[in-house]
Amino acid sequence: MSDSPTEKLLPSHAQWLFFGKLPLETTDESFRQFLLTIGIDLLLSHISVRQYPAINCANAKIAIPRQMVADLMNWVVNGAQLGGREVSARIPIAESQRRPNNLPPRENRA
């Protein structure tokens, strides 16, 4: 359990997901182990669990890299077709190829 009254800061460049009504004794590490059992491998720095003793539960917030979100969606879609074509998820090119110092793509520079 965390002694801090505030949540851990998570990476802002990822997709955040929230999980509620977890067992009170849930910690960052135990939630990470749970995610590993279902095939999701996240760093502890991407997991923040907060306990709420007054209501006997914990909540978790995780930061999933956007590429992992696309990979998970493709796993769920599992080759399903729409109109005879296989459907797949991907992240926009602009997000998948982050540029240092927030520089725009070369072709858009003045």
- Tens-digit pLDDT profile for residues 18-47: 999 999 999 999 999 999 998 899 999 999
Q: pLDDT for 75-103, tens place per residue? A: 888 889 999 999 988 877 655 555 444 44
**Higher-confidence residue: 3 or 18?**
18
CA distance 11 to 63: 6
Burial string for 22-43 (b: 16+ CB within 10 Å, else e) reads beeebbbebbbeebeeeeeebe
> What is the per-residue pLDDT for 12?
86
Per-residue pLDDT reduced to its tens digit, 47-80 = 999 999 999 999 999 999 988 988 888 888 888 9
pTM strictly above 0.75: no
